[in-house]
Structure 1
Amino acid sequence: MAVWNLGSINIDNVYRVPHLPAPGETLAATAFSQGLGGKGANMSVAIARAASRVAHIGAVGADGKWTVERLMEYGVDTRQIEVVHGEATGHAIIAVAEDGENQIVLFEGTNRTITQDRIGAALTEASPGDTFLTQNETSGQRMGADIAKRLGLRVVYAAAPFDPGAVKDVLPFTDMLVLNQVEAQQLEDALGKPVNALGIENVVVTMGAEGCLWMTDAGGETHVPAISVTPIDTTGAGDTFTGYLVAGLDRGMPMRQALDLATQAGALMVTRLGTADVIPDLKEIEDARLG
Structure 2
Amino acid sequence: MAILNLGSINADMVYAMPHLPAPGETLAAGGLQKFLGGKGANMSVAATRGGSEVKHIGAVGADGVWAVERLADYGVDVEHVARLDTPTGHAIIAVDRDGENLIILYPGANRELTMAQLDRAFAQAAPGDILVLQNETNLQAEAAERGNAKGLRVCYAAAPFDAAAVQAVLPHLDFLILNEVEAEQLRQATGKTPADLGVRDVIITLGAKGARHIDGASGAVLDVPALPVTAVDTTGAGDTFTGYVLSALDRGLSMADAMAEAARAGALMVTRRGTADVIPTRQEVADAQF
Same fold (TM over 0.5): yes
Who is 1:21 aligned against? 21
Who is 1:136 aligned against? 135
Moved over 6 A (4+): none
Who is 2:234 aligned against? 234
Q: Give the 3-state SS of the residue equivalent to 2:177 in structure 1.
A: strand
Superposition pairs of residues 1-291 of structure 1, within 5 angstroms:
1-85=1-85, 87-217=86-216, 218-290=218-290
Counterpart of 2:14 in structure 1: which amino acid?
A: V
Contact 1:159 1:167 in 2 (8 A): yes
Query: Could you tell me how far apart the structure 2 residues matched to 1:9 and 1:182 are?
Result: 25
- What is the Cα deviation at residue 165 of structure 1? 1.3
CA deviation string 1:213-246 (max 9, x = no partner): 1101111011111001000000000000000000
Query: Could you tell me how far apart the structure 1 residues matched to 2:197 and 2:207 are?
Result: 23
Query: Could you tell me how far apart the structure 2 residues matched to 1:33 and 1:245 are?
Result: 28
**Unpaired segments of 5 or more residues in structure 2?**
none
CA deviation string 1:8-64 (max 9, x = no partner): 000000000010001111111001011100000000000000010000000000000
Provide the alpha-carbon RMSD of the alignment. Answer: 0.6
Query: Could you tell me how far apart the structure 2 residues matched to 1:196 and 1:21 are?
Result: 38
Query: Could you tell me how far apart the structure 1 residues matched to 2:289 and 2:113 are?
Result: 40
CA deviation string 1:86-145 (max 9, x = no partner): x11000000000000000000000000001111121111001110000000001111111
Query: Could you tell me how far apart the structure 2 residues matched to 1:18 and 1:79 are?
Result: 41
CA deviation string 1:151-206 (max 9, x = no partner): 11100110111111111110111001000011111100110111111111110000
Contact 1:10 1:41 in 2 (8 A): yes
Q: How many residues align?
A: 289
Contact 1:120 1:144 in 2 (8 A): no
TM-score by length of 1: 0.98
Counterpart of 1:13 in structure 2: which amino acid?
A: M
Counterpart of 1:233 in structure 2: which amino acid?
A: D
Query: Could you tell me how far apart the structure 2 residues matched to 1:180 and 1:244 are?
Result: 16
- What is the Cα deviation at residue 289 of structure 1? 3.0
Query: Could you tell me how far apart the structure 1 residues matched to 2:188 and 2:275 are?
Result: 31
Query: Could you tell me how far apart the structure 2 residues matched to 1:199 and 1:223 are?
Result: 20
Contact 1:60 1:110 in 2 (8 A): yes
Query: Could you tell me how far apart the structure 2 residues matched to 1:105 and 1:121 are?
Result: 32
**Unpaired segments of 5 or more residues in structure 1?**
none
Counterpart of 1:145 in structure 2: which amino acid?
A: A
Contact 1:56 1:78 in 2 (8 A): yes
Q: Give the 3-state SS of the residue equivalent to 1:79 in structure 2.
A: strand
**Identity over the aligned pairs, expressed in percent?**
56
TM-score by length of 2: 0.99
